[in-house]
Amino acid sequence: MKKQALLLALILSVSSLLADTPLPSWNDGAARQSIVEFVEATTTPGSADFVIPAERIAVFDNDGTLWSEQPMYVQAVFVFARIKQLAP
């Protein structure tokens, strides 16, 4: 029982430390730092770069987040639109 309690305490401690760290699974580096700085600048009231929540837009890559339910449909629409544009 003591081992289980110790393990639980360790898990909770690590979880609370990671919760305070933005992008905890990312390695420290220029890309991570740039993203963190951008988010802090645009979400901190009083910052010169602050963007009010109503005007914020989130864009995600093809990782499945905010991606169409039918990605082939979206890609097909793009292909056909591009063909029409290039055909003349």
Residue 51 maps to a domain: no
Identify whether 17 is part of a domain.
Answer: no
More confident residue, 36 or 67: 36
End-to-end CA distance of the chain: 76
Note whether residue 63 is domain-resident.
yes
Q: Is the pLDDT of residue 11 over 80?
A: no
Q: Residue 23 pLDDT > 70, yes or no? A: yes
3-state SS class at 71: helix
Give the chain's domain count: 1
pLDDT at 10 over 90: no
Mean pLDDT, to the nearest integer, of 4-19? 55
d(CA 16, CA 63): 27
Euclidean distance between CA atoms 60 and 11, whole angstroms: 30
Residue 76 domain flag? yes
Q: Residue 15: what pLDDT? A: 52
Residue 66 lies in a domain: yes
**Whole-angstrom Cα distance, residue 66 to residue 57?**
12
1 vs 88 pLDDT, higher one: 88
Which residue segment(s) compose the domain that 72 sits in? 58-88
77 inside domain: yes
